[in-house]
Structure 1
Amino acid sequence: MRVSIYIPTHNRLDLLKKAIDSALQQTHADVEVIVVNDGSRDGTDQYLIERAQGDSRLLYINKATAEGAPKARNAAIKMATGAFITGLDDDDAFEPTRVEAFIKYWELLAGLGIQPACLYSQDVIIANGVKVRTSGKRGSVSFTDLIEFNYIGNQIFAPKEHFIGAGLFDESLPAWQDLEFFMRVLAKYGQAYLIDLPTQLYDDSPRIDRISVKSEKKIRDAFRIVSTKHASQSPRGQQLLMLRVFSPFYGVRPTLRDIWKFMRLGFWPQGMLRMLREACRKA
């Protein structure tokens, strides 16, 4: 059974090499690795040309200009020939048994009459080359769970038809692209299930190109779009998504106008009163 692994990349050649190695060295040998070079200027294009000559499982798209990770992911997904698809960021890596473990767990659940929307796993969190911790994700995730928090992480494993059927990644979103796509997958296909093994090395080293340092405007714009698409009929859902904007992860401070909007929705999740009181004092 073939599994397609997509890797979008932009100017991270040294990290990309490790990501590709980890994808090609899976214990499940029938993989294809599709790298989309999103306008890199660091020699990535030539590296992919030369590397692919030695392994037919490595495919690539060298784009002349950068158009963003969602568009790169979608190009790879459309190109994929695997029955199942999963993704890998260019600064992360897979444990050798990741794909094999996903396939076996999918088959186990299917044998029990369970049809997952997708699978996800625990991660080993790495910072500056040092293992920090192993994630403690919950055993299953529903669409409503994702309104509260992205309990899945940054990658899923699912049949190609689930990626296509859910509509692929929204290329217009300025942020939250993974979250919003996962919402559509779960809304259409049901529960996501955890394989309780750390099968991915997730690099959490501080860098200026991480989403957490994206502009406040992009985060607020993403909230408005996702809230409209997925929580327009749920005041509670809108509030939970709004709380994400003002989490320490992004560092966005609520304004008095935000507080007024939040109050009008009628619910008061734990901790929000303290956050809003602090914002009022500094406003």
Structure 2
Amino acid sequence: MKFSVVITTYNRLDLLKRAINSALNQTLKCEVIVADDCSCDGSCEYVENFRKQLPLEQQQRLVYLCNSSNSGHAATVNAGISKAKGEWIKFLDDDDYLALNCLEEMQSAIALCENAVICSCVAAQVNELEVEVTRTPVLGPGLAFYVPQVDIHYGMLLERLPFGTPVQVACTREAFLKSGGWDTKLTGCDDIDSWIRIAQFGNAIFLNQCLAYRTIWAGGYDQKIYLKKRLNTNISMKEKIYALVDEKHRSEIPALEDIKDYLKLHWAIAALKQKKLKIFLQLANTSVLSLTAWRLLLTSIMARRGNLNSPHLRKIVLIESSKKN
């Protein structure tokens, strides 16, 4: 099983250096592809010079490509994966980085799960000084567990199974290509949209180990998207997931309108925390009156804190993954 780590970058050279090192120095050797969205900060020159200074074996594993024009994050992901040779793709944005045993632990879990197409792990959210601020929740039992394909979209809809941001996720190259790649027309949630489609082709694995580090800072892409835009995109994602929930779970899921009210309530509270009263009033107009929306919000909060597990989880006993991060 071979991994390709695809690092997308655009004018973040200082952060890119850290991401490249975290990929090249993995305990499991992998291909490292730097996909540059036409940076003008010297990224190209740095990567090419850095590559020449590496031992021959690492030189052969480090690949650099650059878009001819600035094409956006999704297009850059697609370009990087088009050059990848690995059976599995590990996503990595330039402002994030991996634990050095990330790929090794993922490989151990994947080897025990037949027909796996997507794998996710716990991530630490760190500030610009690499100080941990918080962590994504542990999900399910044991060091790792898998979810059969028929249960995935049900879990995603009810937010029991958040795959997370690119730094947490790996998938098979085959499933990525079958899914059509990342949607270049989306602004925000292009990663979640991809996970939704990839999950149609096989089982999922979750590792309850912190193997990834996501930087929370003012320059992050998600910080530049307005609340109402994020709400509308979230609703679009839920509509896509809703349509894919397996028939066996149909009687267990809320009505789509109730889910939309929950999302409005969630983002109304976010607007209130940011003291954006006008947006709060717009979003909370009807959602605050929905008991189902409040129940879904409470359930979501419990899931994010790791206090709620889905009954549709199947435990994997990991033989060699006893190391703690």
* Interval containing the TM-score (normalised by the shorter chain): 0.7 to 0.9
The farther-off stretch of 189-198 and 36-45 is 189-198
Matched, 1:215 2:241: no
CA distance in 2, matches of 1:43, 1:128: 21
Matched, 1:16 2:16: yes
CA distance in 2, matches of 1:125, 1:220: 22
CA distance in 2, matches of 1:23, 1:6: 9
Shift of 1:270: 2.8
CA distance in 1, matches of 2:281, 2:297: 13
Q: Which one has more relative contact order, counting CA pairs under 8 Å at least 6 apart?
A: 2
Figure out how many residues of one structure are paired with residues of the other and give that number. 265
Matched, 1:135 2:144: no
**Matching residue within 80, 84, 99 for 1:80:** 84
2:75 alignment partner, SS class: helix
Q: Where does 1:82-231 land on structure 2 (aligned, <5 Å)?
A: 82-110=86-114, 115-129=115-129, 130-139=131-140, 142-149=152-159, 151-155=162-166, 156-186=169-199, 188-204=200-216, 206-216=217-227, 218-223=229-234, 225-231=236-242
Shift of 1:158: 2.1
TM-score under structure 1 length normalisation: 0.81
Gaps of 5+ in 2: 141-145, 244-254, 299-325
Over the matched positions of the two proteins, sequence identity in percent amounts to: 24
1:270 alignment partner, SS class: helix
Q: Where does 1:38-53 land on structure 2 (aligned, <5 Å)?
A: 38-53=37-52
CA distance in 2, matches of 1:19, 1:76: 15
Deviations 1:108-156 (A, max 9, x none): 223xxxx333111112221132123443231366223323447221132
1:248 alignment partner, SS class: helix
State the superposition RMSD in angstroms. 3.0
**Amino acid aligned to 2:93:** D
Shift of 1:23: 0.2
Deviations 1:8-46 (A, max 9, x none): 1111101100100110001111x1111111121211111
Shift of 1:242: 4.1
The farther-off stretch of 46-55 and 87-96 is 46-55
Q: Where does 1:255-270 land on structure 2 (aligned, <5 Å)?
A: 255-256=281-282, 259-260=285-286, 267-270=292-295
**Cα–Cα, structure 1 residues 218 and 235, in superposed 2: closer, same or farther, change >3 Å?**
closer
CA distance in 2, matches of 1:117, 1:237: 27
Indicate the residue corresponding to 1:34 in structure 2.
33
2:112 alignment partner, SS class: helix
Shift of 1:177: 1.1
TM-score under structure 2 length normalisation: 0.71
- 1:33 and 1:57 in contact (8 A); partners too: yes
CA distance in 2, matches of 1:159, 1:137: 23
Gaps of 5+ in 1: 274-283
CA distance in 2, matches of 1:190, 1:235: 29
CA distance in 2, matches of 1:124, 1:266: 33
Shift of 1:75: 1.0
CA distance in 2, matches of 1:201, 1:28: 18
Shift of 1:78: 1.7
CA distance in 1, matches of 2:292, 2:125: 34
